[in-house]
Amino acid sequence: MTLFTLAETTDDLQQILVLQSLNCEDSLTPDEVADQGFLTARHTLSLLEEMGQKYKHVVAKKDGQVIGYALVMLKEFSDKLPVLTPLINVVEELSYEAVPLNTATYFIMGQICVAKEHRGQKVFEGLYRHLQQQMQPHFDYVVTGVAQRNTRSVRAHYNVGFKSILKFGYDIGEKWNIILWDWK
């Protein structure tokens, strides 16, 4: 049985980093990237600890092992991951249903990942539902960016309840889909 809980220990965070490393694009074959999706950003243990001080990250565990995670990232951490800084800058200029996001209560979905052998078993949805239980009392929206070519992730996010609010491309060529889940 899968347990959805908060990342409370250094061991939880270290297991997140191992799972992250296995699923970053540079660790995967092109076929795996196309079929299974991929992660873009890499975190450090100290950054995960810092990010999780106010709101804990959510983990899915099976037999005591982390098999999935959802990272909470407040806006003030955007400069700590340079790959995400342009995304946050764009989000801060957007509006959703006539509400400027720079005046709204939202947080960034810092990253979500499910171990390959546990995909298709509702772990992704469970991570987001647990995250929603923790964060909805404090935030109206959760916003994230997904590479458009990461079709598995885009589909999974839409299935949970996210909506596309902007598609844009960085100068380096990656095209992003900024998506938002409205919790109001």
Which residue segments constitute the domains of the chain, with CATH numbers given?
A: 3-182 (3.40.630.30)
pLDDT of the residue at 102: 93
Strands annotated E in the chain: 3-6, 58-62, 65-73, 95-96, 99-100, 106-114, 141-147, 163-169, 175-182
Q: 172 pLDDT exceeds 60?
A: no
Q: Please, are residues 33 and 86 in contact by the beta-carbon 8 Å criterion? A: no
Q: Please state the pTM of the whole predicted model.
A: 0.94
Q: How far is CA 52 from CA 30, 47, 57, 147, in A?
A: 32, 8, 6, 24
pLDDT of the residue at 84: 77
Summarize pLDDT for 66-93 with one digit per residue, the tens.
999 999 999 888 888 887 788 888 899 9
Nearest to 51 by CA among 24, 23, 81: 81
